């Protein structure tokens, strides 16, 4: 029988990195930047967290749980901020093509992740090709203290590390800011029609820079969550896989709404692992077809949204275009 | 100082068209600077002197006849995919699904080689699998194009998703056809009989591939620059409204161009399976679909320049992996170097289309103060 109590938490844990990536990309896309470098940024976020944690674990004899969280988180944010700045410098200041820049960033970011990951693995002289930071990971994945006493409810809703909850909170805050505040209105204006926004006295480049950098930092946290919580502090090269691209798919799936993205990310997480729960018996090859599901569902949503042509469901009108004031 | 109105230090002006030699001069300069930066990065990581590092890189690609052929093969495959995505890009259709279209081609070719191995003569089988690959690639490219033409569905994201659908489809068939059962891989198809393998010309495994791709390059060049189709897709790319106004059927052009784009990817898939690798796996396309996007863009969608751009990237990849092996770094180092070089080339485009004009008075004041 399908076991929802064990399935749901796993779906959530798969979904959280996607939610971080998706929320980050939504903020970015709202400013008109289609950042295809998100997969690379998430790798960089992950590896920077690992490096921070690694150095701290090496240097400190006794792990202070506050520092054990703060150091990796800060280094993760710093790493992804740098990636975001690089993207902005190229696409906003130098007005380069966003698709090409994004793809180059992905190559670069994955390269950075695997290179430093590989080098750290070498440093530790481990026999297996991975780094285990179990002490740091324990702090990251500490669940709420009363989760165990609440039976299925605790297991389904309270058993996650703090980053999972912050993902939901960040998504909710983002939804609020975009929808209800002045800043959000300006941001949407920049994404829909930068020339109009400029004429209204909004500093277009500033909004693009800030939105993209904040977006990158949030996306980077997704990489950090994956390593520290989901993978129990074990970094192995290429383990993160194609989740970055799924995060971009999530943006479309949730039609550019962070609050929808929360539910959608859990659904995506579920689709990502559903093949483990469908009894395949001897027909192992069917599993490969089930793994297709998240992508197929995204395509269907993409098509349906474009067919319905509702204004509020469309991507930002100036998505993917560089803005130059003197251009008509 | 007495001037109260604040004038920024410089402002950005759009340039007219630069003469081609100046534009390419800027790009070349960017590559040179990028290589210097790469050398510095490599030096800090390995501690070797940069000249030796570059010697290693050059040796890995040009050191022996075999190495040159491998470089030629890698260049040809990259070039093939770049040629495929170029017509779509000229139309401003962002096809980043090259990966999936190649895999569709690979899958079709492998299917023909496995299922028809003993039923038809060898020559016919090769033709059938070539045609099947082309059709498979075209279908994979055509699906997003159909929705783009009909409902203006975002093609970047659609083609991206199609990559993963193709990957899983290949994974599915790999398990069905795996040899031996449970191995999780197919191995060399028809190893003993060599049925369905492309013949070797001049005793070299790669020669035929290289020739086919070169012919294709010329064909695409002519198609883009001297045919009615090529003209139409450029017009659609520049302005859809203009295209409609002059009576071009935009929907038809979009679908037709993407069928072509997918078909060329299919050919590359066919060459990979029948020509060189003789196997099927999800990693067969090896990220070429994404690299091709960058190559095509770097070459400004010009097929002839693409030859050099793909050679540069193939060389970098090979060279950087040689550095990694020689100096005990891991292979991902090549991705970092490739990334750095790409950033420089991407960035330098700015200086081709815009120029910085500095504040005049500031210069004068500075001169007076001295």
In B, minimum Cα distance to A286 occurs at B172
Q: Is residue A302 part of a domain?
A: yes
The 10s digit of each residue's pLDDT in B193-205 is 777 777 777 667 7
The Cα–Cα gap between A124 and B128 comes to: 53
The pLDDT of residue A1 is: 46
The Cα–Cα gap between B30 and B349 comes to: 9
Contacting residues of B for A289, CB less than 8 Å apart = 168-169, 172
Check CB contact of B44 with chain A, cutoff 8 Å: no
The 10s digit of each residue's pLDDT in A41-68 is 999 999 998 888 888 887 776 777 778 7
Tell me which of B204 and B296 has the higher pLDDT.
B296
- pLDDT of A167 over the 80 cut: yes
The Cα–Cα gap between B259 and B229 comes to: 13
Q: Is residue A326 part of a domain?
A: no
The pLDDT of residue B370 is: 44
The 10s digit of each residue's pLDDT in B228-238 is 988 888 888 88
The 10s digit of each residue's pLDDT in B145-158 is 999 888 888 888 88
The pLDDT of residue B1 is: 45
**Average pLDDT over chain A, rounded to an integer:** 83
pTM of the model: 0.84
Q: For residue B165, give the nearest of A109, A119, A292 by CB distance.
A: A292
> From start to end of A95-141, where are the E strands?
131-132
Q: Complex ipTM above 0.95?
A: no
Q: Which of A95-104, A123-132, B353-362 has the highest mean pLDDT?
A: A95-104
Check CB contact of B147 with chain A, cutoff 8 Å: yes
Q: Is residue A168 part of a domain?
A: yes
In B, minimum Cα distance to A99 occurs at B94
Which residues, including other chains, have CB under 8 Å from residue A116's CB and lie 6 or more apart? A47, A50, A51
Alpha helices, H only, B283-332 = 288-298, 303-326
Compute the average pLDDT of residues A205-217: 93
**Contact status, residue B164 vs residue A292, Cβ threshold 8 Å:** yes
Compute the average pLDDT of residues A143-159: 68
The pLDDT of residue A295 is: 86
- pLDDT of A126 over the 70 cut: no
Give the CATH number, domain containing residue A226: 1.10.3470
Percent of chain A residues topping a pLDDT of 90: 23
The pLDDT of residue A148 is: 65
The pLDDT of residue B82 is: 92
Percent of chain A residues topping a pLDDT of 70: 90
Cross-chain residue pair A292–B169, CB shorter than 8 Å: yes
The pLDDT of residue A175 is: 92
Q: For residue B332, give the nearest of A90, A111, A326 by CB distance.
A: A111
The Cα–Cα gap between A253 and B158 comes to: 12
Say how many domains are in chain A: 1
- pLDDT of A133 over the 90 cut: no
Most A CBs within 10 A among B150, B330, B341, B351, hence the mutation to make, goes to B330
Q: How far is B202 from chain A, CA to nearest CA, in Å?
A: 37
Q: What is the maximum alpha-carbon separation in chain B?
A: 91
Nearest Cα neighbor of B294 from A96, A111, A34, A100 is A100
Contacting residues of A for B343, CB less than 8 Å apart = 86, 90, 101, 104, 108
Q: Which of A162-166, B219-223, B228-232, B284-288 has the lowest mean pLDDT?
A: B284-288
Q: Is residue A319 part of a domain?
A: no
Cross-chain residue pair B160–A86, CB shorter than 8 Å: no
Task: Give residue A264's domain range.
Answer: 4-313
| Beta bridge partners of residue A170, listed in sequence order | none
Nearest Cα neighbor of A242 from A226, A229, A263, A218 is A226
The 10s digit of each residue's pLDDT in A279-290 is 666 666 777 788
Check CB contact of B327 with chain A, cutoff 8 Å: no
The pLDDT of residue A128 is: 64
How many residues can be counted in chain A? 328
**Average pLDDT over chain B, rounded to an integer:** 83
Domain ranges in chain B are 65-304
Compute the average pLDDT of residues B71-97: 89
- CB atoms under 10 Å from CB of A302, counted, come to 24
Q: Which of A26-40, A178-192, B34-48, B63-77 has the lowest mean pLDDT?
A: B34-48
Q: Which of A27-31, A89-93, A271-275 has the lowest mean pLDDT?
A: A271-275
Nearest Cα neighbor of B35 from B59, B21, B53, B62 is B53
The Cα–Cα gap between A214 and B173 comes to: 42
């Amino acid at each position: 029988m399908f076991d929802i109590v064990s399935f749901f938490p796993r779906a959530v844990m798969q979904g959280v990195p996607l939610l971080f990536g998706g929320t980050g990309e939504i903020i970015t896309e709202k400013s008109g930047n289609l950042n295809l470098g998100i997969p690379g940024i998430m790798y960089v976020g992950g590896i920077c967290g690992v490096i921070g944690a690694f150095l701290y674990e090496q240097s400190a004899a006794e792990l202070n749980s506050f520092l054990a969280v703060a150091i990796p988180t800060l280094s993760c944010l710093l790493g992804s901020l740098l990636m975001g700045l690089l993207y902005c410098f190229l696409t906003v200041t130098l007005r380069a093509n966003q698709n090409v820049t994004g793809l180059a960033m992905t190559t670069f970011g994955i390269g950075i992740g695997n290179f430093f990951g590989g080098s750290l693995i070498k440093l530790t002289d481990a026999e297996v090709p991975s780094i285990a930071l179990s002490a740091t990971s324990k702090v990251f994945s500490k669940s709420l203290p009363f989760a165990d006493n609440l039976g299925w409810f605790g297991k389904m809703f309270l058993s996650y590390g703090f980053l999972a909850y912050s993902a939901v909170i960040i998504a909710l805050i983002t939804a609020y800011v975009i929808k209800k505040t002045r800043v959000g209105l300006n941001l949407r204006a920049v994404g829909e029609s930068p020339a109009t926004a400029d004429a209204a006295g909004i500093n277009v480049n500033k909004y693009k820079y800030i939105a993209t950098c904040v977006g990158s930092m949030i996306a980077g946290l997704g990489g950090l969550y994956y390593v520290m919580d989901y993978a129990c502090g074990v970094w192995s090269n290429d383990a993160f896989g194609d989740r970055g691209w799924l995060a971009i798919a999530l943006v479309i799936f949730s039609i550019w709404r962070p609050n929808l993205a929360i539910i959608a990310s859990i659904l995506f997480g579920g689709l990502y692992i559903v093949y483990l729960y469908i009894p395949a018996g001897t027909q192992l090859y069917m599993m490969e077809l089930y793994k297709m599901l998240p992508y197929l569902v995204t395509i269907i949503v993409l098509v349906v949204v474009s067919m319905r042509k509702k204004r509020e469901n469309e991507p930002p009108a100036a998505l993917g275009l560089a803005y130059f004031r003197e251009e008509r | 100082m007495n001037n109260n109105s604040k004038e920024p230090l410089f402002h950005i002006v759009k340039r007219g068209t630069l003469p081609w030699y100046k534009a390419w001069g800027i790009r070349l300069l960017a590559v040179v600077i990028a290589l210097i930066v790469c050398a510095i990065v490599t030096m800090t990581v390995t501690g070797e002197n940069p000249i030796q590092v570059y010697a290693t890189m050059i040796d890995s690609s040009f050191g022996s006849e075999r190495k040159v052929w491998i470089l030629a093969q890698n260049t040809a495959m990259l070039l093939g995919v770049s040629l495929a995505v170029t017509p779509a890009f000229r139309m401003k259709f962002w096809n980043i699904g090259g990966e999936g279209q190649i895999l569709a081609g690979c899958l079709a070719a492998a299917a023909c080689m496995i299922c028809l191995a003993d039923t038809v003569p060898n020559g016919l089988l090769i033709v059938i699998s070539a045609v099947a690959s082309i059709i498979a690639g075209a279908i994979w490219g055509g699906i997003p194009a159909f929705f783009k033409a009909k409902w203006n569905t975002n093609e970047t994201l659609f083609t991206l998703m199609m990559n993963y659908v193709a990957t899983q489809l290949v994974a599915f068939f790999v398990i069905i056809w795996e040899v031996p059962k449970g191995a999780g891989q197919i191995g060399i198809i028809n190893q003993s009989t060599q049925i369905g393998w492309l013949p070797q010309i001049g005793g070299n495994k790669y020669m035929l591939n290289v020739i086919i791709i070169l012919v294709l390059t010329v064909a695409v060049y002519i198609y883009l620059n001297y045919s009615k189709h090529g003209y139409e897709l450029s017009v659609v790319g520049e302005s859809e409204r203009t295209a409609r106004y002059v009576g071009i059927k935009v929907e038809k052009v979009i679908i037709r161009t993407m069928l072509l784009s997918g078909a060329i990817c299919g050919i590359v898939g066919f060459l990979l399976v029948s020509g060189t690798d003789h196997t099927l796996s999800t990693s067969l396309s090896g990220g070429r679909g994404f690299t091709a996007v960058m190559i095509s863009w770097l070459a400004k969608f010009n097929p002839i320049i693409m030859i050099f751009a793909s050679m540069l990237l193939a060389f970098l990849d090979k060279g950087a992996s040689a550095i990694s092996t020689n100096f005990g770094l891991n292979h991902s180092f090549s991705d970092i170097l490739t990334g750095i070089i790409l950033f420089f080339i991407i960035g330098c485009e700015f200086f081709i289309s815009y120029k910085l004009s500095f504040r005049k008075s500031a210069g004068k004041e500075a001169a007076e103060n001295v």
